[in-house]
A and B are shown apart, each in its own frame.
Chain A
């Protein structure tokens, strides 16, 4: 069956995704500028679990009315392959990037699941001068720092989640591919409970499993590299010169599916669609990932 959106062909294939653990943290600060600094810092070098151990991103910005301390804030999602790795990464990142960020405060963004230490681990920085406050069965730590105090909730929680939902935008040139990808990422940003962890939400170096080099677990996805056409078996249609991938992590199958649908529709809806050749998805034959997002089903 051929499916087309705005003339762009949607391939009958599926994205292969994996079970992950996710935690949400809310960060607030004195103003939007310092929220942004804190978010950039804590989500830095968190694009892929392959080398970063965690995938993190801004879920959405929060208005002052939505945050516990009525200051501007943001919800950040962290994903990792194991609970212990996630706990370790959150502890280190909150300690090094949010505790250090002027005027910041950190709160739990999920109330169910297994606890992940926030202030519980960082309170010792207060060297005995930290103050514990229990309000509504939630414990907060007030850790004295040089701009006043760092308020940090005792724990957040981690839940089962999904990482690696994806689709590929195959285009004639980089301008059309980028425009489509930017539009897709903006649309996915509106889906709560999902993030796109790569730079600007887009990845150009999609990978396949394994490599000719034994020490590497992943290497370039040669079937989609336009400069390898003629050297390896290619999946690229004639005239395709650029492929960009959107990778989506989400807190549930429904959210990932919804994000893929919004993303694909947005990618194919604009003047740039004339430069797109197809939308496809990355998978490993269905043997590695537990979750399969079939593009045609997602778009139903």
Chain B
């Protein structure tokens, strides 16, 4: 059976709020009902049918075809099911995701996975700034789940993240994992600039020596960690396109900090 499909057929210049395309709508509403729903486009409201061709049947699987970076909040709050986006996605992709899987074939805007509480986001392109970070005013960023970015991520990825795993196959911008509270970020690109500033707990894994604020991170002896083998096997099982097996189980360099804030976080260099 063909999943519910929304194909964007009009060029949109204002941000479209896709949060109203909930999993309940996709699962329970007929094609006509979906077409006649109102969604906000900039400061106006439009029918879904004015922007998208709706096809497929009631399903747990939503496909958004011909997507663009103006489609915000795709997959917001989804607890089950699968959302696939062909093309780019706008800001807040996977906002408060609770257990569903969101796959974006292109790039996503800022705040992807913010407030995420479970599930998986797989971004085949780039991610914007504030990946897995909290919304303005919120205390916690990502709280559980997995985010995989196959290319690069913007600045402040993993800011204030609390739990969960981020894997960025490419480079990250400045200030990755700043004020991190917990969770694990695997950053496999070029040397990140000052990752983990003001981190209190959590784990950052880099494959190249990061540029750390050396005064506030303490370098320990190199050592084997069973945890890294465990993390590797969990990520490899996810089949997310990130081959962590290319990193053998060699002793790791370990930095702890940020001591400026009495933090007990760790930066592992594999």
Chain B, 217-261, contact with A by CB distance < 8 Å: what is the 0/1 string?
A: 000000111110111111000000000000001000000000000
Interface centre among B144, B226, B234 (most CB of A within 10 A): B226
Known contacts A69-B230, A70-B232, A70-B233; A135 and B165 CB within 8 A of each other = yes
Give the most central of B227, B230, B249: most A CB within 10 Å.
Answer: B230
| Complex alpha-carbon distance, A148 and B220, angstroms | 11
A105 contacts B144, CB within 8 Å?
A: no
The answer to whether the Cβ of A189 comes within 8 Å of any Cβ in the partner chain is no
Which residues of chain B come closer than 8 Å to A71, judged between CB atoms?
226, 229
Given that A68-B230, A69-B230, A70-B233 are contacting pairs, would A148 and B224 also be in contact in the complex, using a CB cutoff of 8 Å?
yes
Q: How large is the interface on B (under 10, 10 to 19, 20 to 34, 35 or more residues)?
A: 20 to 34
CA distance A132 to B264 in the complex (A): 12
30 contacts between A and B (CB under 8 A): A28-B226, A30-B224, A68-B230, A69-B226, A69-B227, A69-B229, A69-B230, A69-B233, A70-B229, A70-B233, A71-B229, A103-B226, A105-B230, A129-B264, A131-B201, A131-B203, A131-B264, A131-B266, A132-B182, A133-B227, A134-B163, A135-B165, A135-B184, A135-B231, A136-B234, A140-B227, A140-B230, A142-B227, A149-B225, A149-B227
- In addition to A135-B184, A140-B227, A148-B225, 17 A-B residue pairs with Cβ atoms within 8 Å of each other are A30-B224, A68-B233, A69-B226, A69-B233, A70-B229, A71-B226, A105-B226, A105-B230, A129-B264, A134-B144, A134-B164, A140-B230, A148-B223, A149-B225, A151-B226, A151-B227, A151-B230
Contacts from B to A (Cβ < 8 Å):
144, 163-165, 182, 184, 201, 203, 223-227, 229-234, 249, 264, 266
- 9 tightest A-B CB contacts, nearest first: A69-B229, A69-B230, A105-B226, A135-B234, A151-B226, A69-B226, A70-B229, A151-B227, A148-B223
